[in-house]
Amino acid sequence: MQVNNVGTAYLKPAVELTPEECSSLMMTNFESCFHLSQLAYPLLKPSGRGSIVNISSVSSVLASHSLPIYSAAKGAMNQVTRNLASEWAREKIRVNCVAPGLIQTPLLADFVDGNDLLQVELNRVPLGRLGDPKDISSLVAFLCMPAASYITGQVICADGGRVLS
């Protein structure tokens, strides 16, 4: 099994992003995971039951103010999840993706520190709370288990219902 979980972002409008920042965001948030999956393929293939879980973001399916390239990179992650799932299914390698919403982590705290963004976003979450890292890790663990052996090519939003609002 392999879990691709990486993320970095610049919270700034599109017109302020430099070409270097755009390249860095795409490389970190998408290309690194794609290339690691390529490297994992020959290792997972002999098992006859490989599983790759990519970690995307709810920003990949919603318009996210001041996160244009981050959102695009995570959207690319969603699409490559579907493509690899289709391409590698005959080798019994499943590829799925989890798209978390707001999760209570130190990175989130640093990201929204000192502004009202967190409360604005929380108001859009029907369950009315931040996610816990265990909410995501439990879903990832399930997707890697035999109980999920018929699930592939899926992007699952774990976001407290944010995509519903």
A 10 A CB-CB count for 71 gives 23
In the set 10, 41, 70, 150, the catalytic residue is 70
SS (H, E, C) 15-59: HHCCHHHHHHHHHHHHHHHHHHHHHHHHHHHHHCCEEEEEECCHH
- Is position 10 annotated as part of the catalytic site? no
DSSP 93: E
* CB-based contact 67:163 (threshold 8 Å): no
Q: Catalytic residue positions?
A: 70
